[in-house]
Amino acid sequence: MAHGDVSRDVTAAAVTRAADRTPVRAPATAKINLALVAGRARQDGRHEVVTVLQRVDVADRISLEPAACLTVTGFPQDTLVRAALERLAELASAEPHWHVHIEKHIPVAAGLAGGSSDAATALRLVNGVLGDPLDPEELHALAASLGADVPFFLTDGPQLATGIGTDLARLALPTDYWVVLVLPDGESKRSTAAVYEEFDRCGGSERFAERRAALDEALARVRRPRDLAALPPNDLASSPLAEELRELGAFRADVSGAGPAVYGLFVHRQTAQAARRRLRARGRTWLTVPAWYG
């Protein structure tokens, strides 16, 4: 499989619209981790992971138009989109005459990878209007240098991410279910370093090969949405909200990434809507569905 697969329709639209200097726009979707198994730290300090990544239809909006110089507006805290485009300009030997606007909807620092999605979407849009664009492998390598989640957002469909999370393989998983997302009030995302420090201190990497094999076996048996319930729980984070979601009818519920966002998967929309209503007092909630691409 070629890494960093760029959506043809987005690229074609980018070329056409750049010609008449109208903005090019694309959604930058959030993701959830349907499973996350972590292992020991490598020599470079990064941890081995095996994780199942799935887009969901909660999205920022990214727009691109020509400009005198590189500007990124709409989200003052951004550093990743700017860094991505500066690096792209350097690698492509291009002048960064681009204005990118971020319309933010994905909550920040929630375990939903909104910043990574924004960066990858901006890369896709700008690469699509370059006269000499980077090839998919080069774009994937650039994305991987920015963060472990960024390459995923250059691909379509659910993916199995291995290594440090940047080696991707497409998965044939069902996507006909509803997703309730909950961002609990009063909780904030811990730093990645702190999460892995606690994981190591508690001996979390023990039996990594066994847990990975269990994940692989569970994936091989998935035929319908309910089969996703057999995937192992998140190694890095847990939440009592996951149990509440299961009690409210979710066939699977877990923390996304290092949290604090929690998701529940439901077969029926009515059940999902009822669960969302019950949990609104606990924090921000969304009722959404899996997304195939951004």
State how far the Cα of 264 lies from the Cα of 246, in Å rounded to an integer.
7
Contact between 242 and 253 (Cβ < 8 Å): yes
Contact between 228 and 214 (Cβ < 8 Å): no
Q: Which of 31, 189, 235, 254 is catalytic?
A: 31
**DSSP bridge pairs for 181:** 263, 286
Q: Of 266, 99, 95, 94, which is closest to residue 178 (Cα–Cα)? A: 266
* Annotation says 31 is catalytic: yes
Q: Of 197, 201, 203, 179, which is closest to residue 258 (Cα–Cα)? A: 197
Amino acid at 235: D
Q: Which of 5, 60, 78, 149 is catalytic?
A: 149
* Annotation says 254 is catalytic: no
DSSP string, 217-265: HHHHT--SGGGGGGSPPPSS---HHHHHHHHTT-SEEEE-TTSS-EEEE
Contact between 28 and 57 (Cβ < 8 Å): no
- 89 SS3 class: helix
Which residues are marked as active site? Answer: 31, 149
